[in-house]
Copies of this chain bind each other. A is one copy, B any other.
Amino acid sequence: MDDSKIRQHISRQFNTELEEIRHKVLVMGGLVEQQLALAIQAFTTNDMETAELVMRRDNLINDMEVEIDLECTQIIALRQPTAFDLRLLLTVIKIISELEIAGDHAERIAKVAIKLSDTEGKHDQYHEILHMAELVKKMLNGALDAFARMSIDGITVITAMDEKVDLEYAGIVRQWVTHMMEDPRNITRTLHSLWAVRALERIGDHACYLCEHLIFMVKGEAVRHLSQQELEEKLNA
């Protein structure tokens, strides 16, 4: 093979590697979405079998993070990519870390479901989180979809949802604290539930961080720590 053919060949191989990485990130993201949905189901319906399934499956996500991280490192070392390709690989390393943490939070929600089933008290106070959970699922799904499309069009719609999530979270905390005050026998149960809803709120945060990493990947600009308004101004500039 002459030089240009070898270069073409290497470049084709490199593109295949990048495609594989992207595919794996989406598989991992899909797993985290499933874990979130199952954890919420377990928590709101007191479904122990599902809670235990979530606990067992968390290590699949952990393993995928380790595997994809290693592959990105190897590709950077071997292919010495620059510009967009390098940003893509560095962004993937960050995205899978956010996904892994989101998976941990889903596992936490499942753990709370299991603890609650061992704790005395009423089992009917958790439906108020369903709407908040729908918002968080939409954020995570939207962020993964943006990664799949490699596009940040409309990404501020996703980050804007985090404010709604935070408001719903604050409302639920207020309501549940009132429950605690009305009947101190509810304290232990309600406290467990508060950890779960906190974990849900944090998954929303990590979906936002994922969006911020995507913006860095596409535009090469760091937007961490900007407010929603600053972010919108920057992206519409």
User: Which residues of chain B are near A66, meaning CB under 8 Å?
Assistant: 222, 224-225
B86 touches A76 (CB 8 A): yes
From the candidates B80, B87, B181, name the one contacting A80 in the complex (CB within 8 A). Answer: B80
Chain B: minimal CB distance from A100 (Å): 8
Q: Mark A72-87, 1 if CB is under 8 A from B, else 0.
A: 0100110010110011
A69 to B66, CA, bound (A): 21
> Is A59 engaged at the interface, CB distance under 8 Å to the other chain?
yes
Between A59, A83, A222, the greatest number of chain B beta carbons within 10 A of the residue's beta carbon is seen for A222
> Is A33 engaged at the interface, CB distance under 8 Å to the other chain?
no
Stoichiometry, copies per complex: 2
Binding stretch for chain B, among A135-143, A151-159, A183-191 = A183-191
What is the interface size of chain A, counting residues whose CB is below 8 A from a CB of the partner? 30
Chain B: minimal CB distance from A58 (Å): 9
Between A59, A94, A187, the greatest number of chain B beta carbons within 10 A of the residue's beta carbon is seen for A187
Name the CB-closest residue of B to A59. B225
Q: Mark A185-217, 1 if CB is under 8 A from B, else 0.
A: 001100100100000000000000000000000
B76 touches A76 (CB 8 A): yes
B69 touches A222 (CB 8 A): yes
Query: 8 Å CB contacts to B: which residues of A94-143?
Result: 94, 97
> Is A26 engaged at the interface, CB distance under 8 Å to the other chain?
no
Known contacts A177-B188, A187-B180; decide if A73 and B59 are in contact (CB<8 Å). Answer: no
> Is A162 engaged at the interface, CB distance under 8 Å to the other chain?
no
User: Which residues of chain B are near A228, meaning CB under 8 Å?
Assistant: none
> Is A18 engaged at the interface, CB distance under 8 Å to the other chain?
no
A194 to B82, CA, bound (A): 46
User: Which residues of chain B are near A28, meaning CB under 8 Å?
Assistant: none
Known contacts A65-B224, A222-B70; decide if A184 and B180 are in contact (CB<8 Å). Answer: yes
A149 to B52, CA, bound (A): 42
User: Which residues of chain B are near A82, meaning CB under 8 Å?
Assistant: 77, 80
